[in-house]
Amino acid sequence: MLSKIMNYTISLFVISFLITSNIVFGYSASEFTAKYHNQFSEGEKVKVLVKVKGEPVNKDPAKLAREIRYYQAGVLKFIHLAGAINVISDTKHNQFSAIMTTSLAEKIATRYDVISVTKIDTVDVSTQLCFPIEPGANLSGCDLYAARLRNADLRGVNLTNANLKGADLTGADLSGADLRSAFLKYAQLDETNLSNVNFSFAKLIRADITNANLTNASFYGATLYQSDFTNSDLTNVDFRFSILTYANLSFTNLDGVNFESAGTWGTNLNQCRNHEFCEEYNISYAKEKIFSQEKTIVELFPIRSPNFNGGEPIVFSGRLYTESGQKITHAEILIKSDGPCPSDGIIAKTTTDKYGDYSIRTLTKIWDPYDNLINIHAEFSGNEKLAPSSSQNEVVVVFPKNAESCK
């Protein structure tokens, strides 16, 4: 038992050291370009296997993948800014493959967070990499951050493990596509054909999926926090074991939908149809929650400056009261983010004082290793007499040069 604790402690220390000492954290894209210019564009294209320092200790697959992501965060950001493509991270072993120039491969081989860089194959630049983007294309692991793919024909494409954060897929046809474990935070999927798409274990956080065709799609084990499905056709959709917290399913067709073991706390089912949940929500829920509970308002006071260096203290404060203006005392307040870590989104919690006010101080951490930017809000869970409520969002940017990893 003692050896396990020591190994875990050492593992956390190594993660913290590798991240806080990393030369790329804190760089913006323009700063990176100013420092390195185009020096990594030289040489032939090669596919490499990169082994990263750090020995994962978690046995749970989800925790193991998260731990590996933190080990690799620094070097992955570096190669992303340097132009590497087809980056695929191994979620079982601390290594990843990518296509890059020989000059970039030589550079990362000298990094202290990298064990080795092994050439797998020479790449013919005329062959498919992450392009062309066309029906049936293999885009697994591709970085399509903020890609503009409006009205694109993407039928049957393989987008497993792809990064589609902020991508605009409005009006696109992705019928039959494979998006298992893809990352689609803030993605635009309105009026999109998503019939028969496999979204198992994907992360669609605050995604716009309105007016879409999702017939026979699978969201098994997916994270759909605050995603908007308004007026979409969800016939025969599989939501088993998914997280639908605060998702908006209003005016949707839920004929044949499977919600087994799904997390539906705060899910908006207003005016949905063709499912027993709809009748329960529109009649029983409305009466019990709207008429028997008093509405509440939780405020999160504006943060003076959104920018923080890693490890700096940050204070969240605000007030909780009823719609009639009565203060709510001794109530638990959750400070939550939309970042991928921690998995439940809770970065701090406290209780209101005798005046209904709250304040809590914590240290900034790497809550979103993808782009360092998160939206934070305060949340009151409610009780039998008081309805739950959420505050407005406040943007926080953490430059994680000296930040601890989020666990």
The pLDDT tens digits for 260-300 are: 989 888 888 888 999 988 877 765 554 454 445 788 999 99
Q: What is the pLDDT of residue 184?
A: 92
Q: How many CB atoms lie within 10 A of CB 332?
A: 14
Helix (H) / strand (E) element for 373: namely strand 373-380
Q: Does 130-292 match 296-405 in CATH topology?
A: no
The pLDDT tens digits for 303-352 are: 877 888 878 888 999 999 998 888 899 999 999 988 777 878 888 999 99
The pLDDT tens digits for 85-144 are: 767 777 778 888 888 889 999 999 999 889 999 988 765 543 445 777 889 999 887 878
Summary mean pLDDT of the chain:
82
Q: What is the chain's alpha carbon radius of gyration, rounded to the nearest angstrom? A: 23
Single-letter amino acid code for the residue at 265: W
Mean pLDDT in residue range 135-154: 88
The pLDDT tens digits for 18-48 are: 444 444 444 555 566 567 767 887 888 888 9
Single-letter amino acid code for the residue at 293: Q
Q: 130-292 adopts what CATH topology?
A: Pectate Lyase C-like (2.160.20)
The yes-or-no verdict on residue 151 having pLDDT over 90 is yes
Mean pLDDT in residue range 4-10: 42
Assign 78 a pLDDT band (cuts: 50, 70, 90): confident
Mean pLDDT in residue range 185-198: 95
Order of all β-strands in the sheet with 114-122: 85-89, 95-101, 45-52, 114-122
Q: 296-405 adopts what CATH topology?
A: Immunoglobulin-like (2.60.40)
The domain locations on the chain are 2-122, 130-292, 296-405
Q: What is the pLDDT of residue 93?
A: 85
Q: Is 186 helix (H, G, I), strand (E, B) or coil?
A: coil
Assign 153 a pLDDT band (cuts: 50, 70, 90): very high
User: How much is the pTM?
Assistant: 0.48
